[in-house]
Structure 1
């Protein structure tokens, strides 16, 4: 009889998502001014020579982290759907009950918009944007909010 190793079911919970960035102050400012996130904590991780800021908003905690003097490799900027050929996390996905207004606010901030208010499923549409360093943020909203 083979005994299965123990499971971690119920042992873990989400703490935050971590995003490596090149320009920490610029990215903190963008996530605050455009998406409305607030800084919760800031600090350093001496073990990896990094500085970080943990932001809270939209029911999430996002850790923006950077290594001083690092030789950064840029984000893959393949356009959709070709971005799905590169393995790894694809997008921060958010939801808005009023996608039309959300999209208008993003336009007012001159955010890079890949598509705006496009029908993605029978019940949803989305606006796909990039943050200043090229990371995708996909914002879904109900199809009938016109």
Structure 2
């Protein structure tokens, strides 16, 4: 007699709510995401269970939850340079898309943003500008190849 075990079905009905980013200086990071990337704060509050302050920021249908535990010792973001950053497991970058990558890159340069690479080809159809936010988190902006 053989016993065939079926796998349970995956969870149904999931959808993305937001991406959470732990930050050291909540106010400074809110200001940077607003002034450089055009996000706006839609909600601000506190998670008492984990003793953390948060701000929900939104732009273009995206939601990022910036969360900070003030007074705690923070471990800095991984600053391994590409392509070696792919050898470190875990989330790599916030990936955005622009209809005008060259113009977006120029604006980033005007803001004095730390640029990892600017308007570089990734494939025959895709170009990318990779930056870091003030706390070292990578943000990759894709655009169509010229």
Query: Deviation of residue 7 (structure 1)?
Result: 2.0
2 CA distance for matches of 1:110 and 1:19? 22
2 CA distance for matches of 1:109 and 1:91? 20
Match of 1:7 among 10, 26, 33: 10
Secondary structure of the 1:140 match is strand
Give the aligned partner of residue 95 of structure 1: 97
Secondary structure of the 2:92 match is coil
1 CA distance for matches of 2:54 and 2:23? 9
Relative to the length of structure 2, the TM-score reads 0.95
Give the aligned partner of residue 30 of structure 2: 28
Match of 1:116 among 101, 115, 118: 118
Give the aligned partner of residue 74 of structure 2: 72
* Structure 1 unmatched runs, 5+: none
What whole-Å deviation, never above 9, does each CA across 1:44-91 have from its counterpart, x for those lacking one?
000000000000013210000001211100011111111111111000
Give the CA RMSD over aligned residues: 0.9
Give the aligned partner of residue 131 of structure 1: 133
Match of 2:63 among 53, 61, 64: 61
Contact 1:53 1:63 in 2 (8 A): yes
Would you say how many aligned residue pairs link Structure 1 and Structure 2? 143
- The aligned runs of 1:32-43 (5 Å cut-off) are 32-43=34-45
Give the aligned partner of residue 48 of structure 1: 50
Larger Rg: 2
Relative to the length of structure 1, the TM-score reads 0.95
